[in-house]
Structure formats: structure tokens, C-alpha cells
Amino acid sequence: MEVDRRAFIASLGGTAAVSIMDHEAKAEALEHWMEERLDEAVGQQGATPQKFPSAAELEAQIETRSYRRGVGNLFVNTRGGMMKKLPPMPKNATLKDFFELRFAPANHVLQSATRALKTGMSEEVVLACLLHDVVQSMIKVDHGWWGAQLFEPYIPEKSTFAIKYHQALRFYPDSDAGYEYPDQYLRIFGHDYVPPPHIESTYKMVRNHKWYMEPRLVTVNDLYAFDQNAKVSLDPFTDIIGRHFKQPKEGLGNDNSPSAHMWRTIANPDAPL
């Protein structure tokens, strides 16, 4: 560290004050002064604006990983540890069972839905918020479409619409609705990322759709839903699930619906084929 002699002497009260200090006192003062400057420098570093990667930098990371970023949480431990044995699913598994045994802790979606409920949004939107990202336990890439497909046989059309299209709307701010482009996306897609054509054309279609606000409100609640300390549970949503989720009596995965295989995949991710 470079020492600014004039600033250091001035901090001690000028040359006259320094001239009456003994050698040890001067050394101690210098050490103290340098520590303070170091603390300042570290503090300033924390205050500088965050630097986000470019899309090319993120692409260059592909060959540094043993997995692809689009894979679902149930299939890879991105922190590098080993897998845990999953608890068995009950025979006639319900949505609640999947929340507790496969989607848990599901903090993000529970916080999203809690915010939707508190701000008086429609039950279709609350339900969409509750379900909007849980398919990421199976697959992350294109999760809006995958998620909509998973839930389509069981929930209102408006909720399916909201889940399907929230993914595309995340790339397009709407300050009137209270949605700004998230820092998280600058971090994970790159500051210069341009969404692919299918996302852009989807956005244009949804922007002019009479149900635009359904997926838009999912993105609005998305923003506030990453608080690690929030205490959330599925209980406040029991009635909404009861009214709007068509629980099959055979159990999810056993009802031959168009997405039953997806539920079985989530229930049994250890199956080799």
C-alpha cells in the first residue's frame, strides 16, 4: 500500500506534532493509519456497481461444468455434493404430497403466491404464482411451457396461460405494471443477452392478448420472491387448491392424463429408463 506522507502527517496534527513523537509511537500511528485506509478501500470496492457477465462469457463456462444449466433440480446437485435418497411417494399422490416430497422447500413459489394473495389478486393468478416454477425440479430450460403442460389437465385455462407465458414476459419490463428487468437475469443470461425469436414473438402476442395481465402479474410477484428468511407454507392455499386444482382420485401420475408421465418422472427421478 502506498503511503501519502502529507495526508499521514496531517492526520497526526502536522509536522510539529510528529516531531515530538518517539519512534514507537510513529510506527504505531502509521500502522493504524494504513489499516484505516485499507478498510476504506475494501468498503469502496463493495460499493462499486456490480459487474455482470456477457452472454459470451457465460457460454464459455459450458465446458467447465459436468452438467447443463437447463437440467432440473431433482437430477443434479449443482453444489457438487451427493444426491439424497428421496422419500417414497404415497399411492394416490396429491399436489400437496408433491409439494412436500419433491418440490420442497418451494420457498420461491410460496413467497410469490403469498404476495399475490396479500395484494388481492385473483385466485387464478394466486394459483399460477404457486405453481409457476415448480416444474424446474424436472427441467429448467423453457420452464414456462413445460410447467403449463404439466398443469394443463388440472387447472383453469387462465392459470395455465399465466404459467406458460410468465417465462417470456420476464425479459420485457413493464413499469406501469410494476415490473423491472431483474438483476438476476443480467447475472444468469448476460448483460448483452438478446432473447431468441420465439420468446420475442411470444411476448408480442401476449402483450396484445386480453389475458396479458395474468402472466404479467406472475412476473410482478416473481420480483419479491427470493427472501431466504421468509416463513411460508402451503396452508393458506388449501382452499384455492381445493376449488381450482382437479386432483385425480388415482393420484397424480396414475390418471392417464396427457402429463401423467411428467408427474411420474418427478416422482421417480432415480428410474434408469
Query: Which residues lie near Fe ion (CB under 5 A)?
Result: 133, 222
> Any bridge partners for residue 174, and if so which?
179
Whichever of 167 and 257 has its CB closer to Fe ion, that residue is: 167
Whichever of 97 and 222 has its CB closer to Fe ion, that residue is: 222
Least distance in angstroms from the C-beta of 194 to Fe ion: 19
Give me the half-sphere count of Cα atoms (radius 13 Å) on the Cβ side of residue 23. Answer: 0
* Helix 213-222, helix 107-118: angle, nearest 10: 120
Least distance in angstroms from the C-beta of 219 to Fe ion: 8
3-state secondary structure the chain: CCCCHHHHHHHCCCHHHHHCCCHHHHHHHHHHHHHHHHHHHHHHHHHCCCCCCCHHHHHHCHHHCCCCCCECCCCCCCCCCCCCCCCCCCCCCCHHHHHHHHHCCCHHHHHHHHHHHHCCCCHHHHHHHHHCCHHHHCECCCHHHHHHHHHCCCCCHHHHHHHHHHHHHCCCCECCCCECCCHHHHHHHCCCCCCCHHHHHHHHHHHCCCCCHHHHHHHHHHCCCCCCCCCCCCHHHHHHHHHHCCCCCCCCCCCCCCCHHHHHHHHCCCCCC
Whichever of 124 and 133 has its CB closer to Fe ion, that residue is: 133
Least distance in angstroms from the C-beta of 132 to Fe ion: 5
Least distance in angstroms from the C-beta of 53 to Fe ion: 20
Least distance in angstroms from the C-beta of 167 to Fe ion: 6
Whichever of 165 and 251 has its CB closer to Fe ion, that residue is: 165
Whichever of 221 and 259 has its CB closer to Fe ion, that residue is: 221
Least distance in angstroms from the C-beta of 145 to Fe ion: 11
Please check whether residue 28 is in contact with residue 8, taking contact to mean a CB–CB distance below 8 angstroms. Answer: no
CA-to-CA distance for 97 and 90, rounded, in angstroms?
A: 8
Least distance in angstroms from the C-beta of 266 to Fe ion: 17
Whichever of 124 and 222 has its CB closer to Fe ion, that residue is: 222
Whichever of 89 and 266 has its CB closer to Fe ion, that residue is: 266
